């Protein structure tokens, strides 16, 4: 048992080196870096950027973090010095043009995922790298490290720093812990692995503060937002033998509670807390007579099929789309699709 474990560990170390061996020389041999991530950056995107930026700065590199969208207010505690910049074509043209290396984090697929700054980065002379845990295309960059087993890009940044012989500072540990805790849904999503917990243990040892991070991320809502959540919870209906939960939110309700749609993170998950629910449908009225459909499943049914039918996308257990139409009509239609999907997945 002991010998096996030791062998396994050696294999893992070898695997890590193999994963990074092409990227490490690029990092070592260059001096100026631009880091970026996807539009609507989440905590994994931001935490990975901040931790990698600090690591590279420690190696004496010049690093800029440039994103198309601003960091959501809830994650700004990770960046007290405002190192993450929102892309401005005028301000950032020269730093992008003169960069040696561009690193896209948590966003494989294509430059579109990176937003407007992606178009500028795409044309830069720099070597382009991508580090991600999503299983999407990597032909838009020169070199990529994709590990779909990783629960978060933050795990990969930790691994990279360690593989390069580096250490993790308290600030890096905070950023990476926040990345992992959010991307794993507090260590419950399927990609949460022994490796996730091993890395998390190291982050705690390096000074990450779970109580502080939890409180910053999950306990900073406005009173209006919590009251609106109460109203939405009150309105939840179920159908399909209790296996489908559905609810909607109008623009006027949002306004009357003084809540922005960017504050609705987690609303789609509310229906998942009901016993027996396999599919959640949350429809939100958005400007220009459109409806934002958010879908969740308990993992027994791939609801991204419904999202794809509306030209949206996502994962089997979390997906969405935006469509034209009236809230009630769109929701009724999605409910029918969900019922049909249940019919082919064990019945309603």
> Which residues sit at the interface with Mn ion, rule CB under 5 A?
44, 106, 152-153, 183
Tokens of 198: 């091993």
94 burial type by CB count under 10 A (0-12 exposed, 13-18 middle, 19+ buried):
exposed
Q: How far apart are CA 191 and CA 46, in angstroms?
A: 20
**Least distance (Å) from Mn ion to the CB of residue 153?**
5
**Least distance (Å) from Mn ion to the CB of residue 106?**
4
Q: How many CA atoms lie within 13 A of 134 on its CB side?
A: 19
188: DSSP letter: T
**Least distance (Å) from Mn ion to the CB of residue 79?**
17
202: CB partners within 8 A, 6+ apart: 158, 168
**Least distance (Å) from Mn ion to the CB of residue 44?**
3
Q: Which is nearer to Mn ion, 180 or 330 (CB)?
A: 180
Q: Which is nearer to Mn ion, 62 or 191 (CB)?
A: 191
Q: Which is nearer to Mn ion, 58 or 316 (CB)?
A: 316
Taking CB atoms, the residue at the shortest distance from Mn ion is 44
Q: How far apart are CA 149 and CA 204, in angstroms?
A: 21
Cα 340 from chain centroid?
A: 30
Which residue in 4, 33, 210 sits closest to 105, CA to CA? 33
Q: Which is nearer to Mn ion, 153 or 196 (CB)?
A: 153
**Least distance (Å) from Mn ion to the CB of residue 107?**
9
Q: Which is nearer to Mn ion, 42 or 333 (CB)?
A: 42
Which residue in 142, 140, 160, 141 sits closest to 150, CA to CA? 160
């Amino acid at each position: 048992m002991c010998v096996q474990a030791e062998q396994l560990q050696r294999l893992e170390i070898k695997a890590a080196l193999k994963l990074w061996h092409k990227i490490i020389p690029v990092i070592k041999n260059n001096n100026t870096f631009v880091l970026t991530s996807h539009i609507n950056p989440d905590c994994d995107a931001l935490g990975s950027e901040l931790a990698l930026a600090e690591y590279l700065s420690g190696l004496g590199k010049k690093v800029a973090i440039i994103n198309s969208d601003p960091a959501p207010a809830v994650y700004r505690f990770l960046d007290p010095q405002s190192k993450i910049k929102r892309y401005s074509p005028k301000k950032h043209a020269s730093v992008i043009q003169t960069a040696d290396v561009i690193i896209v984090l948590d966003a494989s697929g294509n430059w579109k995922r990176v937003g407007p700054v992606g178009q500028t980065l795409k044309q830069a002379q720099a070597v382009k790298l991508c580090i991600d845990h999503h299983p999407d295309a990597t032909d838009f960059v020169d070199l990529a490290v994709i590990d779909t087993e990783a629960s978060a890009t933050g795990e990969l940044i930790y691994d990279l720093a360690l593989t390069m012989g580096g250490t993790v500072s308290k600030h890096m540990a905070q950023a990476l812990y926040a990345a992992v805790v959010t991307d794993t849904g507090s260590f419950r999503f399927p990609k949460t692995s022994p490796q996730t917990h091993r890395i998390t243990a190291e982050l705690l040892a390096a000074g990450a503060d779970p109580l502080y991070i939890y409180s910053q991320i999950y306990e900073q809502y406005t009173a209006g937002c919590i009251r609106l959540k109460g109203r939405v919870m009150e309105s939840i209906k179920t159908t399909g033998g209790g296996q489908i939960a559905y609810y909607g939110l109008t623009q006027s309700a949002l306004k009357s509670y003084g809540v922005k749609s960017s504050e609705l993170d987690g609303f789609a998950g509310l229906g998942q807390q009901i016993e027996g629910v396999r599919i959640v449908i949350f429809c939100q009225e958005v400007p220009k007579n459109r409806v934002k459909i958010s879908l969740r499943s308990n993992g027994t049914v791939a609801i991204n099929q419904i999202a794809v039918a509306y030209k949206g996308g996502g994962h089997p257990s979390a997906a969405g789309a935006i469509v034209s139409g009236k809230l009630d009509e769109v929701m009724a239609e999605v409910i029918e699709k969900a019922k049909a999907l249940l019919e082919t997945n064990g019945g309603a």
